[in-house]
Amino acid sequence: KNVLITGVSSGIGRTLTKRLTKMGYKVWGIARRRVLLKSLSEEINNPSKFIFSDLDISNESTWGKLVEELIKKRFIPDIVIFNAAILENDLEKGLEIKSTERMVNTNFYGVIRGVAHLLPKVKSGTQFLLISSSSAFKGSGVEGVGYAASKAAVSIAFESLYQRYRNNSIHFK
């Protein structure tokens, strides 16, 4: 199976990528930090199982270009895992709107844009998975406004997508 994963340069995404490639899945990993993508590729040491793109999912034009590249390389994902997120404390020095915008652009719009570009290209049975956070259930003065709000928004968006596409055999979890 083909798996597309965002946020593979560290943490859950990196570990998941290593585990899935060991299990025989072909993974296309996405992250902003090329150096960390290259080190992950060297760790996996199997170019037929791990392909990567260094890009920022919050950039509006990114997803269209990526989907073109996926089609060109005949990599239509069976599973899409949205793992990338940024966390900044936008309450540290008052309410820092630019910081809130960065988080919402990545954690919410980056995911929704990805779904919008991928949905017309995937086949029946495709799974769209969202790795979220308990922050989606309550705000936190420690994490600030944007992180919890963006995670809650994208979790609710996935619930709406689940309701809309469940009869089309496209799965949102």
Residue-wise pLDDT for 23-78, tens only, equals: 999 999 999 999 999 999 999 999 999 999 999 999 989 999 999 999 999 999 99
Residue 5: which of 37, 30, 25, 23 has the closest Cα?
30
pLDDT averaged over every residue in the chain: 94
Block residue for tokens 């239509």: 76
pLDDT tens digits, one per residue of 153-167:
999 999 999 999 998
What is the pTM (predicted TM-score) of this model? 0.95
pLDDT tens digits, one per residue of 98-109:
999 999 999 999
Where are any strands of DSSP class E within the chain?
2-6, 26-31, 50-54, 79-82, 127-130, 171-172
Asked whether the predicted pLDDT for residue 136 surpasses 90, the reply is no
pLDDT above 90 covers a percentage of the chain that reads: 87
Contacts 24+ apart (CB under 8 A), 129-133: 129/79, 129/80, 129/81, 129/82, 129/173, 130/82, 130/154, 130/155, 130/158, 130/172, 130/173, 131/12, 131/13, 131/81, 131/82, 131/83, 133/85
Asked if 131 and 81 count as a contact pair (C-beta separation under 8 A), the reply is yes
